[in-house]
Amino acid sequence: MNLSDQIALVTGGGTGIGKAIAKAMLAEGAKVIIVGRKEEVLKEAQTELGSGTEIMVCDVTQEEQVNKVYADIMTNHGRVDILINNAGMAARAKSYEMSYDMWKKVVDVNLNGAFLCARGAMKIMVNQKSGRIINIGSISGQMGRPENAPYTATKFAIEGLTRAFALDGRDHGIAVSVIHPGNAATNIWKGREEVSEREGLIPLEDLGKLAITMLTMSPNVNILGSVILPITQPYLGRG
C-alpha cells in the first residue's frame, strides 16, 4: 500500500469530498483523523470508513481547537504526514445584498480556518522535513458563479494560500498543492439539483483517486495544482 502508516488529517472529513478522500487514503494504508464540528456526523463516518479512522471534534475557525487537534495527534502518533485542508462552506446572495456577518462567516471557515490548519500542519512538517498538504479550492477560484461573492473570493485566496505555503515549505521537503473541483456529488448541491443535473457531477471516488495520485508522487515532486470537473460543466469558454 502506498500510504502505509502515514498519519493524515482531513478537515470536514465526516462528509462529501473530505470523506471520499479519507476513504481512498485508508485503502492505501494511512491512519486518518477526520475533524468537523458535529460529533454525530463524525461518528457515523467513522463507522462507515472502518478501522484506521479516528475522529476529533474541531471548529477550524477556532485557533485553540485547531492547535489542540495537532497537539493530540502529536501525543498519539508523533507525526503528521498529510493534511487535506477541505472544510468549507458557501453562502448565496447577490454581492450587494450579502450581509457582513455572512461574508465574515464564509471567510472565517474557507480562508482563516484553512490558514490555521495549514499553519499547524506545516509547523510539524518543518521539523519532520516531510509532509504533503492538499488544499481544496474550487473552480470558483478561477471562474466564479453569480451570487457567490465570499465563496469566489475565498476560493481565489486558496490559490494564494497554496502558493505562499508551498514557497515556505519547499526548503523543508514539504509539498503544498491545491485541487480545484468542479461540481461534485455532495450535500453542497442540496436544493440546487436542477443545476448539478444540467451541468454534471464528479463522482466522489474520482476525487479520492486524484488525491492519491498527488499524495504518492516521488518525495521531491509536487503536482502544484489540479482542476477536475465533469466534461459537461460550463467552464472552458464560449461557443
Which parts of this chain interact with ligand NDP (CB under 6 A)?
11-12, 14-18, 36-38, 41, 58-61, 86-89, 109, 113, 136, 138, 181, 183-184, 186-188
User: CB of residue 79 vs ligand NDP: minimum separation in angstroms?
Assistant: 22
User: CB of residue 4 vs ligand NDP: minimum separation in angstroms?
Assistant: 26
- Cβ nearer to ligand NDP, comparing 128 with 142: 142
Q: With contact defined as beta carbons under 8 Å apart, do 29 and 51 qualify? A: no
**Residue 199 grid cell:** 451541468
User: CB of residue 177 vs ligand NDP: minimum separation in angstroms?
Assistant: 15
- Cβ nearer to ligand NDP, comparing 113 with 120: 113
User: CB of residue 174 vs ligand NDP: minimum separation in angstroms?
Assistant: 21
Q: Choosing from 70, 96, 100, 151, which is the catalytic residue?
A: 151
- Cβ nearer to ligand NDP, comparing 162 with 183: 183
- Cβ nearer to ligand NDP, comparing 14 with 131: 14
151 counts as catalytic? yes
Q: What residues are paired with 34 via a beta bridge?
A: 10, 55
The DSSP string of the chain is -TTTT-EEEEETTTSHHHHHHHHHHHHTT-EEEEEES-HHHHHHHHHHH-TTEEEEE--TT-HHHHHHHHHHHHHHHS---EEEE-------B-GGG--HHHHHHHHIIIIIIHHHHHHHHHHHHHHHT-EEEEEE--GGGTS--TTBHHHHHHHHHHHHHHHHHHHHHGGGTEEEEEEEE-SBSSGGGTT-HHHHHHH--B-HHHHHHHHHHHHTS-TT----EEEE--TTSTTS---
- Cβ nearer to ligand NDP, comparing 15 with 162: 15
User: CB of residue 18 vs ligand NDP: minimum separation in angstroms?
Assistant: 6
Return the active site residues. Answer: 151
